[in-house]
């Protein structure tokens, strides 16, 4: 059964991603600046990926998501399925801050570039700062909501990992609140180290209240914000 699920997912995921990439490329011709059509295509792709993975999405606290208000979503990270889950849950213009190595993955990496998402090098603080400044400019200009994973990588055991304060430079640059989102259930379906779903199941996103960033600046501000975000994750149900 697991082999059948892996083969089915591999075929359908590749086909879905290829079609999504082609549709997104064509969509750029219709809306090259804001990328609204491309984002709609991304949401359709995300629904398809969750469907072929056997993942049913439940969003708790969805009323706290306000696409019309500028914010930076910060989410816990446990699986590659976290990204399509967030795409489906958020009815607004999302742009992910992703590690640059994802650019080498066929279709997904290409979409990161075409869709206007942000690729960052974790080992280059100067590049990360430059990225935060460029992302802030685009967020203001096109009313985008950025998504980042402050843990930096996927958890293996489900425990909340240390947060990287440097990842939280972006909301300080844009001067907008951060909104914590706890992701549950994706690790059980498709854990780190696996390219295929191990089982079907429910994915739950638990949305917390926004955390203001007024008065937070520099390294001290980033550390203070990281501490607040961590406490918010724990209140939403994360465990250490």
Residue 233: how many other CB atoms lie within 10 Å:
24
Domain 2-236 has CATH 3.40.1130: yes
d(CA 162, CA 139): 27
pLDDT exceeds cutoff 90 at 95 = no
Tokens of 238: 């994360």
Contact residues for 126 (Cβ-Cβ < 8 A; gap 6+): none
- For residue 231, name the pLDDT band (cuts at 50, 70, 90): very high
Of the listed ranges 21-25, 91-95, 101-105, 135-139, the least confidently predicted one is 101-105
More confident residue, 152 or 118: 152
pLDDT > 90 fraction of the chain, expressed in percent and rounded: 36
Among positive and negative, which fits the CA dihedral 165, 120, 184, 2? negative
Mean pLDDT in residue range 17-22: 71
pLDDT tens digits along 172-193: 888 889 999 999 999 999 999 8
Dihedral pair phi/psi, residue 198, rounded to 5°: -95, -20
Mean pLDDT in residue range 16-40: 67
Of the listed ranges 40-44, 134-138, 167-171, the least confidently predicted one is 134-138
pLDDT at res. 25: 66
- For residue 236, name the pLDDT band (cuts at 50, 70, 90): very high
pLDDT at res. 174: 84
Mean pLDDT in residue range 115-141: 68
pLDDT at res. 198: 87
Please say whether the beta carbons of 46 and 83 come within 8 A.
Answer: yes
Highest mean pLDDT among 7-11, 153-157, 235-239: 235-239
pLDDT exceeds cutoff 70 at 30 = no
pLDDT at res. 121: 63
Q: Where are the beta strands (DSSP E) in the chain?
A: 55-60, 72-75, 94-99, 118-120, 145-148, 178-184, 201-207
């Amino acid at each position: 059964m697991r082999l059948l699920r892996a083969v089915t997912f591999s075929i359908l995921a590749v086909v879905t991603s290829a079609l999504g990439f082609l549709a997104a490329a064509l969509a750029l011709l219709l809306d090259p600046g804001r990328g609204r059509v491309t984002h709609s295509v991304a949401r359709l792709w995300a629904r398809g990926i969750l469907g072929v993975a056997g993942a049913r999405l439940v969003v708790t606290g969805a009323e706290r998501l306000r696409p019309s208000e500028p914010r930076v979503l910060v989410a816990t990270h446990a699986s590659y399925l976290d990204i399509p889950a967030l795409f489906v849950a958020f009815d607004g213009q999302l742009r992910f801050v992703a590690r640059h190595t994802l650019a080498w993955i066929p279709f997904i990496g290409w979409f990161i570039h075409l869709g206007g998402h942000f690729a960052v090098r974790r080992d280059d603080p100067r590049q990360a700062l430059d990225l935060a400044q460029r992302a802030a400019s685009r967020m203001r200009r096109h009313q985008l909501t950025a998504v980042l994973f402050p843990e930096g990588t996927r958890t293996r055991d489900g425990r909340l990992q240390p947060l990287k304060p440097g990842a939280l430079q972006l909301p300080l640059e844009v001067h907008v609140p951060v909104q914590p989102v706890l992701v549950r259930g994706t690790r059980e379906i498709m854990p780190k180290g696996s390219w295929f779903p191990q089982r079907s199941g429910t994915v739950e996103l638990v949305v917390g209240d926004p955390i203001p960033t007024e008065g937070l600046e520099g390294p001290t501000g980033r550390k203070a914000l990281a501490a607040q975000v961590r406490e918010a994750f724990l209140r939403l149900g994360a465990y250490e």
